[in-house]
Amino acid sequence: MALDIVRADSVGQAAGVLAGDDGARFLAGGTFLVRAITAGDVSIRTVVLSDGLGLDRIALGDPIEIGSAVTMAQVLGEPHLGFLHPVADSIGGPAVRAMATIGGNLFAQSPYGDFAVALLALGASVVSEGADGEASQDLEAFLAEGPPRGRIVRAVRFATPAAGAFRYLKITRKHPHGASVLSIAAVLPVPGGTLAGVRVAYGAMSPRPMRARAVEAALEGRPLDAAAIEAATKVAADGTMPEDDPQASAWYRRAVLPVHLRRLLSGEEG
Amino acid sequence: MAKLPLIFTVNGAEQAEFVDGDALLVDVLRDKLGMTGTRVGCGQGTCGACTVLIDGAPALSCLTLAVRANGKDVTTVEGLAMGGTLHALQTAFAEGFATQCGFCTSGMLVAAKALLDRDPDPDRDAVVDAISGNICRCTGYEPIINAILAAAADLRGARSA
Amino acid sequence: MEHVREFFAAERGDDGKAVGTSLARSDALGHVTGQTQFYADRQFPGMLHLKMVRSPHHHARIRSLDTSEAEKLPGVVRVITHKDVPANVYTILRLIQVEPNDEPVLAEDKVRFKGEQVVAILAESEAVAREAVARVKVDYEELPAVFDVEEALKPGAPLVNEYHGHNWFTYEGHHCRRVRHGDVEKGFAEADHVIEERYESSPIEHAPVETTGCIVVPEANGRLTCYSNTQALFFTLDNAGLILNVPFQKLRLIGGTVGGGFGGKVDVITEPVAMLGAMLTGRPVKYAYSREEEMQVSSPRAAERLYIKDGVMNDGRIVARKVRLYVDAGAYSRHSPYGTTKASAHMPGPYTIPNVSVDAHCVYTNRTPSSAMRGFGVTIGDFALEVQMDKLARLVGMDPIAFRIRNAYRDGDMKAHGELTKGAALVETMQAAAQIAGWPISAEDAAASSTRAGG
């Protein structure tokens, strides 16, 4: 019942504790983990704090690197990450944004995890550290397989998208902030008049953030015109597995997804 | 399980307690320090009734393990009135009928203080955003928003006077 | 109101001129400083935490109950089952002669809705209580459940509540609360148009920011002090006394500060079992709903379904209105027999209709028991009636305000449930609303009055 608190001196040491203890969890913002503890998840016996491990830094190189303990509020305070401000701003009210972290968002289940949706569209990779040192994993694989046991997410890395290429929208029932009915993030580069390297990701359209591959294929190599948008809209719901929850039914999510995708692509929304 | 030391500042006064690992900041404030103005409405970070300031930033004390407040400066609703004088927000809430049952009021006031501390002249959208993590079920948001705008104007007036 | 002035003149301390002025709330200073004391803002040494084992099923027979593993857990002080409750079966409104008792404090041989209270755990901490809850083994035999009011009334539907013997509340020997006025079939035969429409609402949760709960403290003088956020202190006191089989004067209820109620805190659920816990252990006991419990098991506003059949003349007069109304009480009566009566008496709305027939059914289903919420029994019916009025106005080609003024009740009109209309102000209210909204009305309608005959 009682909870052990571990303050580690390094990420490696923290990872060692996690590797050796099934009941240990790494605590960042706490908006998911402390909620689970309070709700009576007795499988959590040990909490390893992320405080003081240097994971709360943003490095504005190429690629950009955001530490896993960086909060939404920190992202909002960084002018060079302006294209991500609408994403960070969409995650909860000010108190949640001051607590919730980029790393924690990678572990969120539907209808949460909108920042991970954006990172998925940006083609981010996840840097983690364990006993055998540092390793990098594609975010899509990370979401599919889960993080390797005994490793701690240090940061996410991604290349800066072309100016104006990143788009994001989040549909909520509660305004101005609420959990997602759905969210969509897209990187739509048009280097020579046609789309090249399109990436589209959805939130709340499956248990975890997902790529919209059919939409990407429908857009790739075409100009971003009415015909391409029409083709993308037709396959908007391909591969989605939304859930029923208090925000919306699975049926509703599928029904409105093409509408919001069309608006995002045509620039009417987002 | 050994208790853990917690030394922190609450509303300007240093406090020292020994707490369990799973103790929440809100429980320490309410049960150990007797500061029951910070309320618990959901325990899930959804209602905002437990909002406090930690080093000036708004935080949900129901989702904060108490040990993480070690060395921090915490402000609660009890810390708004200085030397017996109500904060402009408190006066505006009382006079503007921005409090009915009173249960969400503490969190609303603290969330509003976080806004006015960094933005003395917020527009209506900024006020709405500032309290967007706080749920009210009876007063209605309009008088609350109006009270925060009135308090901001009041504070600006006092500063320029 | 003159007698009120006389009786309370000293306490009032005003000159009776408060209307039209803005007065400060007496509790505002406490609220804005955080000094207002809610029930949970009290600490008592040795206080135990009560957590409830709840039914995971909508409808099931309890084959057996095993609490031994929970009792072995260090920190668990007491486990309470229905056998410990002196008079386990009650109904809140027995205080105003509503019968029969139909709800167990703790489930006996059956559970009738998901989340029903089965076993109470008293422990030194919330965490221990929660873990003990998980260790209680209940062997359930799932039963077919019914969630729809009309399905529940069909022959062969699963029997929800054995204390009634059928899935409806009995009103003076009848299967529904009935209102009869004039001859509704004759009215339909004479009408230029007859239409029937169906209206339905979902249950609505009050979702107060402060969840339901109480703290009970055993006093040295043998009394129990209960700090509660109930909206119904005396309902709670009297029902608790009857359930615990203790004289009323042994119980002291302290309340009045409610962190949002809206009717959701008029049930008597947390107090009797917390009081019993304090009696059995001699220690203070706190029983507070989690947010999840508040949403899942506290009574919502009842779902209602209405069929409204109207006969209307081309000149806009409604000559007959027949209403079939179903209130989904959920698994137990609580306040729904009363709410259903209120719903029936509210028909046919604030309109004078010569022929009216109402059948209002209070129906038991395997949903969360419903109870009071702001204007319960009236609000949903009003929604249905006013949508119906707009449809009727369109049908006969009349302006919706003009159509309502035509049919509005006037002083001296006989209401369907047999009471004379007095002090009606509907016509004047609509005239004022039309003026404020800039909605044009005819000179004739502008001159209409509640004190003169309609038409």
Contacts of B24 in chain C (CB under 8 A): none
Taking CA–CA distances from C40, the nearest residue in chain B reads B36
Worst-scoring range by mean pLDDT, A265-269, B94-98, C25-29, C383-387?
A265-269
Neighbouring chains of A at 3+ CB pairs within 8 Å? B, C
Pairwise CB contact (< 8 Å): A42 & C130: yes
Q: Is there a contact between B60 and A96 if contact means CB atoms under 8 Å apart?
A: yes
3-state secondary structure (DSSP) of residue B79: helix
Contact C127 A39 (CB under 8 A): no
- Within 13 Å of residue B97, how many CA atoms lie on the same side as its CB? 8
CA distance linking residue C179 with residue C105, whole number of Å: 34
How far, in Å, CA of C107 to CA of C138, rounded? 11
Tokens of C370: 């419903």
Name the burial class of residue C351, with classes exposed (0-12), middle (13-18) and buried (19+) by CB atoms within 10 angstroms of its CB.
buried
Q: Which domains does chain A have, with CATH numbers?
A: 4-49 (3.30.43), 58-158 (3.30.465.10), 166-266 (3.30.390.50)
Query: Taking the CA of residue C37 as centre, how many other CA atoms within 13 Å lie in the half-sphere pointing to its CB?
Result: 9
| CATH superfamily, region B4-79 | Beta-grasp domain (3.10.20.30)
- Pairing between strand A180-187 and A152-158? unpaired
Interface touch C262/B81, C-beta < 8 Å: no
How far is C116 from chain A, CA to nearest CA, in Å?
19
Kindly report the average pLDDT of chain A as a whole number: 95
The region, left, alpha or beta by phi > 0 then psi within -120 to 50, assigned to residue A92 is: left
CA distance A73 to B115: 13
- The class level of CATH for C177-203+300-446 reads alpha beta
Give the mean pLDDT per block of 10 residues along chain C (455 residues): 56 70 90 97 96 98 98 98 98 96 98 98 95 97 98 98 98 97 98 98 96 98 97 96 97 95 96 98 98 96 98 98 98 97 96 98 98 94 98 98 97 95 94 97 96 62
C residues 221..240 contacting B (CB < 8 A): none
- Chains in touch with C (≥3 Cβ pairs < 8 A): A, B
CB contact under 8 A, B133 and A93: yes
Q: What are phi and psi of C411, to 5 degrees?
A: -55, 135
When CB atoms are compared, the residue of B21, B60, B128 closest to A2 is B21
- The least confident of A28-42, B8-22, C235-249 is A28-42
Using a CB-CB distance cutoff of 8 angstroms, which residues of chain B are in contact with residue A95?
Answer: 45, 48, 51, 58-60, 111, 133
B7/chain C closest Cα distance in angstroms: 22
Do residues C177 and C165 touch, judged by C-beta distance below 8 A?
Answer: no
Closest alpha carbon within chain A to B110 = A95
- What is the pairing mode between strands A46-49 and A4-7? parallel
In this model, does residue B1 exceed pLDDT 70? no
Torsion region of C52: left, alpha or beta (phi above 0 gives left; psi -120 to 50 gives alpha):
beta
With beta carbons under 8 A apart, name residues in chain A contacting C54. Answer: none
pLDDT in tens, C237-257: 999 999 999 999 999 999 989
Alpha carbon of A211 to those of A122, A139, A206, C78, C361: distances in Å? Answer: 11, 11, 10, 52, 51
Inter-chain touch A5–B130, beta carbons under 8 Å: no
Q: Does C38 touch chain B (CB under 8 A)?
A: yes
Q: ipTM strictly over 0.90?
A: yes
Best CA proximity match to A157, nearest among A114, A125, A116, A120: A125
Q: Give CA–CA dist C397/C41, Å, rounded.
A: 60
Closest CA to A101 of A54, A180, A39, A31: A31
Q: How many CB pairs under 8 A join A and C?
A: 15
What's the gap in Å between the CA of C312 and the closest CA on chain A? 39
pLDDT at residue C9 in the model:
64
Q: Token pair of A107, please?
A: 């572990």
Question: Which chain B residues are closer than 8 Å to A30 by Cβ?
Answer: 63-65, 68
Provide the pLDDT for residue C7. Answer: 59
Answer whether A210's CB lies under 8 Å from A240's CB: yes
Closest residue, chain A, to C125 (C-alpha): A1
In chain B, whose CA is at the least distance from the CA of C39? Answer: B36
- Cβ of B45 under 8 Å from any chain A Cβ? yes
Structure tokens at C6: 């006389």
Residue C433 has a pLDDT of 96
pLDDT in tens, C314-363: 999 999 999 999 999 999 999 999 999 999 999 999 999 999 999 999 99
Nearest CA in chain A to C292: A39
Asked if residue A176 has a cis previous peptide bond (ω within 30° of 0), the answer is: yes
| Domain B88-160, architecture per CATH | Orthogonal Bundle (1.10)
Domain locations along chain B: 4-79, 88-160
pLDDT digits (tens, 9 = 90+) for B44-79: 999 999 999 999 999 999 999 999 999 999 999 999
pTM of the model: 0.94
Burial of C336 (0-12, 13-18, 19+ CB in 10 A): buried
Average pLDDT for A196-210: 97
What is the DSSP secondary-structure string of C263-295? TTT-S-SHHHHHHHHHHHHSS-EEEE--HHHHH
Please determine, for residue A221, whether its predicted confidence score (pLDDT) is greater than 80. Answer: yes
Determine which of B113, B137, B148 to mutate to test the interface with C (most C C-beta atoms within 10 Å): B137
- For residue C451, report the phi and psi dihedrals to the nearest 5 degrees: -95, 0
Which residues fall within 8 angstroms of residue A125, CB to CB, at 6 or more apart? A136, A137, A138, A139, A156, A157, A158
DSSP single-letter state for residue C211: P
Residue-wise pLDDT tens digits, C72-112: 999 999 999 999 999 999 999 999 999 999 999 999 999 99
Name C195's Cβ contacts closer than 8 Å, sequence gap at least 6.
C309, C310, C312, C391, C392, C395
Instruction: Assess A34–B contact: CB distance below 8 Å, yes or no.
Output: yes
Residues of chain A in contact with residue B111, where contact means CB-CB under 8 angstroms, are 93-95
Instruction: State the pLDDT confidence band at A95, using cuts at 50, 70 and 90.
Output: very high
- pLDDT (0 to 100) of residue C1: 43
When the pLDDT of each residue in chain B is averaged and rounded to a whole number, the result is: 96
Where do the domains of chain C lie?
Answer: 48-142+207-290, 177-203+300-446
* C193-200 vs C213-218, strand pairing mode: unpaired
B78: which 2 tokens? Answer: 């009890």
Please write down the long-range contacts of A49-56, taking CB distance under 8 Å and 24 or more positions apart.
A49/A5, A49/A6, A49/A7, A49/A8, A49/B67, A49/B68, A50/A14, A50/A26, A50/A101, A50/A103, A51/A7, A51/B68, A52/A7, A53/A8, A53/A10, A53/A11, A53/A14, A54/A11, A55/A11, A55/A28, A55/A103, A55/A154, A55/A155
The pair of structure tokens assigned to C113 is 């809705």
Helix (H), strand (E), coil (C) string for chain A? CCCEEEECCCHHHHHHHHHHCCCEEEECCCCCHHHHHHCCCCCCCEEEECCCCCCCCEECCCCEEEECCCEHHHHHCCHHHHHHHHHHHCCCCHHHHHHCEHHHHCCCCCCCCHHHHHHHHCCCEEEEEECCEEEEEEHHHHHHHCCCCCCEEEEEEECCCCCCCEEEEEEECCCCCCCEEEEEEEECCCCCCCCCCCEEEEECCCCCCEECHHHHHHHCCCCCCHHHHHHHHHCCCCCCCCCCCCCCCHHHHHHHHHHHHHHHHHCCCC
Query: What's the CATH number for C48-142+207-290?
Result: 3.90.1170.50
Q: Please tell me the distance in Å from B70's CA to the nearest CA on chain C.
A: 23
What pLDDT does C12 receive? 61
Q: Which two structure tokens, joined as six digits, stand for A80?
A: 């060079």
User: Would the pLDDT of A147 be above 90?
Assistant: no
CB contact under 8 A, C131 and A39: no
